[in-house]
Structure 1
């Protein structure tokens, strides 16, 4: 199956959480903080959303940072994705 976002939506796949700290301490799964970095999997077409012209500024394959409580989590074929609006993406990681 394939996710195709509509309007100004973006499909993200969250990057893996760090399992050890910089000092080498191993973190159990419950102590790991969910990363706010993700890879862009698919991008909607943009267009007119709520009466405003929206141009998509991210492309598939980019790594981005998104708002902590943004989006809707979806599980498809055993992989978890997050669908967010473009304005919930804070920055592109280069």
Structure 2
């Protein structure tokens, strides 16, 4: 993929959420909430210079943030750095 975010933005792929509860109940697609965690797939040069994130970092982001895009058949989210709440190590 040759997508390069501009400004203070990153491209994130959401982590998949479980389709079953711990007790084995299957959750239908329309009842699931989108996960608020993902993996950074690409970042702008400005963000890369700061050194806080890199491709492959797992991040947590705000609920109503970002723009959904579909690239090469996959769903991604373009987020501003200020919408990122933290990283998961």
Normalised to the residue count of structure 2, the TM-score between the two structures is 0.89
Match of 2:31 in 1: 31
Match of 1:74 in 2: 69
More strand as a share of residues: 1
Q: Are 1:66 and 1:90, in contact at CA under 8 Å, matched by a contact in 2?
A: yes
Q: Offset at 1:56?
A: 4.8
Normalised to the residue count of structure 1, the TM-score between the two structures is 0.85
Residues 30-82 of structure 1: CA deviation (Å, up to 9, x unaligned): 111110011000111117xxxxxx83521100111101111111111111111
More helix as a share of residues: 2
Give the count of matched residue pairs: 88
State how far apart, in whole Å, the 2-side matches of 1:34 and 1:61 are: 20
Structure 1 gap segments, 5+ residues each = 48-53
Structure 2 gap segments, 5+ residues each = none
Residues 10-47 of structure 1: CA deviation (Å, up to 9, x unaligned): 00001112101122211111111110011000111117
Shift >3 Å, 4+ stretches: none
Match of 2:19 in 1: 19
Residue 46 (structure 2) pairs with residue 46 (structure 1): yes
